[in-house]
Amino acid sequence: MKRIFSILFTAFCAIALTGAPAEAAEAASIKNRQVRQQKRIGQGVRSGELTRPEAARLQRNATRIRRSTRRDRIDGGVFTARERAQSQRKLNRQSRAIRRQKTDGQSR
């Protein structure tokens, strides 16, 4: 009985340890995407591709996404696969909005 318990405990620990780095990598990729999108907005302002109102709107949306992601990570202590997918969808939408605003022909 002790041997079975010890094998199960070892297997459980191995599974638990392999899941943590994957979650950390996914969280880091979301953070990296947010940083890259901020840089794209800044570059658009510097180059004149984005007007001030466009940049302000994109910044507000980026802030909402950042707060939502932070709230999801804190809420319950686990950043679930569903929450990660939702954050990725929001970031995809934001990326498309940045591209549309930068290429819409308006300039400052």
Rounded to whole angstroms, the Cα distance separating 9 from 15 reads 10
Q: What is the pLDDT of residues 4-30, one digit of tens each?
A: 656 655 655 555 555 556 566 766 789
Over range 43-72, report the average pLDDT: 95
Q: What is the pLDDT of residues 66-75, one digit of tens each?
A: 999 999 888 8
Least confident piece of the model among 35-44, 55-64, 67-76: 67-76
Q: Is the pTM of this model over 0.95?
A: no
**How many angstroms separate the CA atoms of 66 and 72, rounded?**
10
Using the 8-state DSSP alphabet, how is residue 75 labeled? G
Helices (H) and strands (E) in the chain, counts: 3, 0
| Orientation of helix 52-74 relative to helix 2-47, angle to 10° | 170
Dist. CA 53–CA 57, nearest whole Å: 6
